[in-house]
Amino acid sequence: MVREKETTLYLGPQHPGITGNMMIKLKVTGDTVVRAETHVGYLHRAFEKLIERRNWLQTFTILCRFCVPEPDPMELTYARAVEELENREVPERAEYIRTIVMELARLQSFMLWYAGQSGSAGLYLTGQWSVGDRNYILDLFEELTGGRIYHMYIWPGGVRRDLPKGWKDKALKTMDYIEKRLDEYNKIMFDNTIFQKRAQGVGIVPKDKAIEWGVVGAPLRGTGIKHDVRIDEPYCAYDKLDFIVPTQEGGDVWARALVRQEEARQSINIIRQALEKMPEGEFYNKVPNPMKWTVPAGEAWTKTESVRGEVGFYVVSDGSNKPRRVHVKGAAYTNGITVLEKILPGQNIADVSFILNSMGVCPPEMER
């Protein structure tokens, strides 16, 4: 047999199909990928080094920039780690507000995913609609926290401020609108034969290897394994709320898309429940003067479920006013490097960016 010639193809860092600033070095024969190698570091800002030079509260400005499309899980995970080190109580109302913020963050990130996933299949209309409608969620964030993208809203011990007057009604109204619109996105995206044909049977993550490979989040649930940090190790008010964690069989892009479609709907459900059940009361426990704030020595490992999968924070304190070490394990760190390198061989070149979007590859949290 004549060995076919291999060509090296660089996908990125400047490429319209890549999900952020990263590069994938592909070896291709003809149209088929033979080998893939992820190159990261284009967004390396040395966050973990900078955190060692900031005090416990200054860290928040850096934390939310770890993952740009969805900054809030990072704040929450770190805040929970600090609370664990300090044994700091969180008022119940704050837990509910945090739940709402988390789910709003998930929802807006799902809407960005709609744009990326359908856009990489050549279907741009969904993106125009969903990114346009995403502004309504960002408006809610802006009224609540003061910022559109970066919020720095969740603190150790609670949240920064209470819900503004009239925010609840506005949020419920927005949820009604988004729910109606989600149906329309689904109609033009999931009922589209081209999208179905491209998504089915592409980028398969095998079920028996998924956990061992370190797959997390929607790609894992797309293989039929029900694992979600929100039910395995409940945080915030998730154990008091009633919601479904959807799973699908198959492990291909189609299964992951169906999982995300249902999760977006569940986010709306959770926000509605949390707004209804939220008790009155305090929204934060007073924190010490940030400049003199010291945290007892120790280490904590906390996990949170984001859109892309579980986000883990390993926080070490040596008893001083600065963190000793904050190490972030973003979902994309395994999903976007090792797992991607395993599932890309055998795929078509045109499907690579399609698979990238469905795996939720987010470069800033891979290289930090």
Partner 1 sequence: MEKENKILEAIKVAFNVEGHIAREKRVMITANKDIVSSILLFCKNQQGYIHLNHMSVVDRIEDGKFELNYIIWSPTEKVTIMLKTFIDRENAEMENIDSIWDQANTYEREMREMYGIQFPGLIGRQDFALEDWDEMPPMRRDFDTHAYAEKTFYQRPGREDAKDVREELTKQSGEVIPDFAKKYSRE
Partner 2 sequence: MTSNNKDKQTIVEYIQNWSRKHSLFVMAYGTGCGAIEIPATMTSRYDAERFGIRGAATPRQADVLLITGYLATKTLKRVIRVYEQMQDPKYVIGFGSCTINGGMYYDSYNTINALDRYIPVDVYINGCMPRPEAVISGFVQLQKQIAEGTANNAAKYKENLEWYRANQKKIIKNWRMPDYNW
Binding region for partner 1 (CB under 8 A): 37, 39-41, 44, 46, 48-50, 52-53, 84, 211-214, 225, 227, 232-233, 299, 301, 303, 312, 314, 316, 324-325, 327, 329, 333-334, 337-339, 342, 367
Which partner from the list partner 1, partner 2, none does 316 bind, CB cut-off 5 to 8 Å by kind? Answer: partner 1
Told to check if 349 binds partner 2 by CB under 8 A, we report no
Query: H-helix or E-strand containing 101?
Result: helix 92-119
Report the residue from 30, 122, 132, 290 that binds partner 2 according to the rule CB under 8 A.
Answer: 132
Q: Which residues pair with 4 in a beta bridge?
A: none
Residue (of 359, 253, 327, 252) closest to 24 by Cα position: 359
- Separation CA 271–CA 101 (nearest Å): 9
Query: Tokens 């008893």 identify what position?
Result: 319
Q: What are phi and psi of 118, to 5 degrees?
A: -80, -30
Amino acid at 194: I
- Separation CA 193–CA 183 (nearest Å): 17
Told to check if 114 binds partner 2 by CB under 8 A, we report no
- Separation CA 37–CA 134 (nearest Å): 33
Q: How far is the CB of 195 from partner 2 (least distance, A)?
A: 19
Told to check if 180 binds partner 2 by CB under 8 A, we report no
Told to check if 138 binds partner 2 by CB under 8 A, we report yes
Which partner from the list partner 2, partner 1, none does 214 bind, CB cut-off 5 to 8 Å by kind? Answer: partner 1
For residues 7 to 26, the per-residue mask of contacts with partner 2, x marking binding by CB under 8 A and - elsewhere, is ------xx-x---xx-----
Question: Residues 140, 170: contact at Cβ < 8 Å?
Answer: yes
Report the residue from 26, 63, 115, 258 that binds partner 2 according to the rule CB under 8 A.
Answer: 115
Which partner from the list partner 1, partner 2, none does 213 bind, CB cut-off 5 to 8 Å by kind? Answer: partner 1
Output 53 or 277, the one with its CB closest to partner 1: 53
- Separation CA 29–CA 342 (nearest Å): 17
Told to check if 127 binds partner 2 by CB under 8 A, we report yes
- Separation CA 255–CA 220 (nearest Å): 10
Which partner from the list partner 2, partner 1, none does 197 bind, CB cut-off 5 to 8 Å by kind? Answer: none
Which partner from the list partner 2, partner 1, none does 110 bind, CB cut-off 5 to 8 Å by kind? Answer: none
Record the tokens describing residue 77, joined without a space. 């995970």
- Separation CA 350–CA 334 (nearest Å): 23
For residues 40 to 79, the per-residue mask of contacts with partner 2, x marking binding by CB under 8 A and - elsewhere, is -xxxxxx--xx--x-------xx--x--xx----------
Window contacting partner 2 (CB under 8 A); options: 39-47, 251-259, 301-309, 317-325:
39-47
Told to check if 288 binds partner 2 by CB under 8 A, we report no
Residue (of 330, 236, 240) closest to 276 by Cα position: 240
Amino acid at 146: G
Binding-site size for partner 2 (CB under 8 A) equals 33
Output 1 or 291, the one with its CB closest to partner 1: 291
Told to check if 129 binds partner 2 by CB under 8 A, we report yes
Burial (CB count <10 Å: 0-12, 13-18, 19+), residue 301:
middle
Told to check if 128 binds partner 2 by CB under 8 A, we report yes
Task: Give all strands of the β-sheet with 23-29 in edge-to-edge order.
Answer: 7-11, 23-29, 32-39
Rounded (5°) CA angle 75-93-238: 65
Q: How far is the CB of 52 from partner 1 (least distance, A)?
A: 7
Question: How many CA atoms are closer than 13 Å to the CA of 115, on its beta-carbon side?
Answer: 15
- Separation CA 77–CA 79 (nearest Å): 5
Q: How far is the CB of 294 from partner 1 (least distance, A)?
A: 17
Output 7 or 128, the one with its CB closest to partner 2: 128
Output 36 or 62, the one with its CB closest to partner 2: 62
**Residues binding partner 2 (CB under 8 A):** 13-14, 16, 20-21, 41-46, 49-50, 53, 61-62, 65, 68-69, 112, 115, 127-129, 131-132, 134-135, 138, 148-150, 364
